[in-house]
Amino acid sequence: MAQKNDERPSVWRPVDPTRHHRENGWDYRGRAIYHFTLVVEERYPLFGTLEGDSAEKAFVRLNNFGHRVYRMLDELAQFYKGKGFALKVLAQKVMPDHIHLVIQVLEPLPQSIGAVVRGFKSGCTKVYKQEYLGDRAFCGGEGNGGLGGGENATGVHGSGENGTRVHGSGVHETGVYGSGWTGRSEGLGGENGEEALVQFARIFAGRGSIWEQNPAYYHERILHAPGQLRHMIDYVKDNPRRLWLKKHHPNLFKLHRKTEVCCLSFTTLGNHFLLDWPDRQMVEMSRSATDGQIQERLQAVLAAAHNGAITYTAAISKGEKLIARTLREQRYPLVVLLNDGFPKEGSPHERYYKPGGLYFEACAKGQLLLLEPTEQTILDTSIQAAVEETLRRKAEARHYRYTPIPVTTDRYRFAALNEMARRMSK
């Protein structure tokens, strides 16, 4: 079940490769604001490298190709204006291996906004060919795919589309979308940049596109709700800092499959040392709890956290969400059980998963552990028995007749998460 609030980790679901992920019934030619994410095939850092001595000073040093792509984004609205597209780029960020673009459609378009994105992607691939494949820079002879001994390989000069020679300074006279040029090929950057570039060139040679193979062409999000735009612009600008944190704290952002906790199996991400904390508390609140009851429970939880207790919660009900958010804001450690949130094992997105929203910050500081039970754990007989006993007791307390619920329902799964949290917090 997707989580759509900021009290729980944002759930990012990989695109189903069998279908497009567009919103049904949405007019993609009408006025709207979109956030697009475009990912390089195999996540090769084609555009540059992440640098900086700290997360706050992190930045992306773009290579020649990255600079050209950046200028293409800069000129995107003006270029398409000549084709009858009224657009405004609200935010952009060229990361080493992907691009973020927040764009506003000002007036109804002659074609879908997808035509703009696909055109930009094709333009980037064309520039890649000029930058790295022009003048047989990677040929080194007939079809061997290696770095050649031609003039481009030395970074002296290249060849523009019009056949003129341009020097490696990368001066662009007529704009990115005008006549092309080939500047100095500075490679990908980093310790193994040249090797990675050669490896990617071999993959590219058989595909014809620098972008990941995806029937949906790109990942897109339509910004519907108030406040989403500001949040998304901040997120785009904050990408280098977040990437720096992830790179320098890899163990806190690594998915661990089949982690055993209390004889149950979970997929986990975050600070596993929280599981060894001796003082623990569990937060579970009824959906019908009043505001007064929630506040009373919150104060008790905060007092225990202040005295060193680790809090376990599934953060499902209104009260649980409020308590989890407050604990996070006050930087108390938290263990959260997820119903469904991690990429499937073996999926191409598994390697790059990270929690979204403010939970990312808690994870980077070692204050968060996320646990998602395996299907085996959900169906564990001891968990099923505990859930049935809990639900039966609640029904009797309310003078209801208890009726067993199927293990496939959300109600069962949420009750099971609470039973797991209760078991781990003892």
DSSP per-residue codes, 259-271: EEETTEEEEEEE-
Gap between the Cα atoms of 77 and 191, Å rounded: 36
Gap between the Cα atoms of 219 and 41, Å rounded: 14
Residues 309-355: pLDDT tens digits?
899 999 999 999 999 999 998 989 999 999 887 888 877 677 777 78
Question: Please, which pLDDT band fits residue 198 given cuts at 50, 70 and 90?
Answer: low
> Cα-flanking dihedrals φ and ψ of residue 328, to 5°?
-65, -45
Taking each helix axis from N to C end, the angle separating 381-397 and 410-425, rounded to the nearest 10 degrees, works out to 100
Gap between the Cα atoms of 337 and 371, Å rounded: 5
The residue ranking higher by pLDDT, 6 or 244, is 244
Residues 128-168: pLDDT tens digits?
888 776 644 443 333 333 222 233 322 222 333 333 322 22
User: Is pLDDT of 231 > 80?
Assistant: yes
Stretch 214-221: mean pLDDT: 75
- Answering whether pTM is above 0.75, one says no
Which of 163, 231, 193, 161 has its CA nearest to residue 6? 231
Stretch 286-311: mean pLDDT: 92
Residue 281 is inside which H or E element, if any? strand 280-283
